Amino acid sequence: MMESLSPRRRVYYAYLGRTYALMRQIQRRSILGMRLLTLVRWLPVIVLLYGWLTQWSASILVILAALVLWINLSLWRAKRTNYIRFVPDQASSIDLTSVDMVPANQKIPVEATGLFSVSGYEDTVLLRPASYWRVPLGDHVVMVEERPGKFLYQFFGTQTLQEVRTGWLLHGPNPIETVSVTFLVRWGPEYTQFGQAYENGDDGNLPPAKRVTIYLSTADIGIKRSIWHSIASDIDLANPGGERVNVRANS
């Protein structure tokens, strides 16, 4: 896994994945009714101030100051990126000569990350159980279980697809095999008027389409390959004559 990357990059990405997972746990957990985030953020500051007032050694104060800086910078960066980083596979292992597409209407279990919606609500999820499938007319659907019994969606197809890439998602100790999909959306809360989302009707007053990237993760290389081929084939239709490569875009 990640053999195409240098050892230095692999060590750095392993550090990032662990840091993102740690920062998310800090954001979400509580201890004795107190948010762990508050404790982790302010306890080192209090210790640093106490050490400065009581004249601890300079080396200890420098270490504490560096710890305060690292904690706050890591929390800020992790939250800004939804506690993940996607690393594209520049030397894709996917066989481009053998097309293996997902059968129409067959739901494929994956873990989904990114922005998902219903007409009046949207949320950003992280590695939640999901299903991917494509319909015979060429559209693609991802249904993600935000929490038990509550589902959010994304839809994309030939007219909206922008890019599909293979690579790894960094979150936790090990990189996660992932397909990244970028597309344009015009549905969700900001595109809903009076409870009706005008996706195919008179939408002249709606905001412009926004660019969204979601990530479909699976440990099964065969499933990853099938999903990539299924989505990439529609980018071929939207960009006829284009070179068949791992990284694609509509321009």
| Cβ-contact 230, 157 below 8 angstroms | no
From residue 126, give the alpha-carbon distance in Å to each of 83, 106, 129.
8, 23, 9
Tokens (6 digits) for 189: 């809360």
Better-scored residue on pLDDT, 94 or 167 = 167
Better-scored residue on pLDDT, 197 or 178 = 178
Whole-number Å distance between alpha carbons of 13 and 173: 9
Of 5-19, 95-109, 228-242, minimum mean pLDDT range:
228-242
Q: What is the pLDDT of residues 84-94, one digit of tens each?
A: 999 998 766 55
Whole-number Å distance between alpha carbons of 215 and 228: 11
Is it the case that residue 4 has pLDDT exceeding 90?
A: no
Whole-number Å distance between alpha carbons of 60 and 193: 58
Sorting pLDDT into bands at 50, 70 and 90, what band is 251? very low
Alpha helices in the chain (DSSP H): 7-28, 36-53, 58-80, 221-238
Structural domains of the chain ordered from first start: 7-83 (no CATH), 86-238 (2.30.29)
Of 16-25, 113-122, 129-138, 182-191, minimum mean pLDDT range:
182-191
Average pLDDT on 32-59 reads: 93
Average pLDDT on 130-150 reads: 91
Of 24-33, 111-120, 139-148, 184-193, minimum mean pLDDT range:
184-193
Q: What is the pLDDT of residue 181?
A: 96
| Cβ-contact 200, 139 below 8 angstroms | no
Does the pTM of the predicted model rise above 0.85? Answer: no
Average pLDDT on 35-49 reads: 93
Of 45-59, 120-134, 157-171, 203-217, minimum mean pLDDT range:
203-217
Closest alpha carbon to 89 in 205, 223, 199, 228 = 228
Whole-number Å distance between alpha carbons of 175 and 167: 9
Q: What is the pLDDT of residue 88?
A: 92
Better-scored residue on pLDDT, 202 or 103 = 103
Whole-number Å distance between alpha carbons of 142 and 40: 36
Q: What is the pLDDT of residues 184-222, one digit of tens each?
A: 987 767 666 544 445 455 556 667 888 999 999 999 988
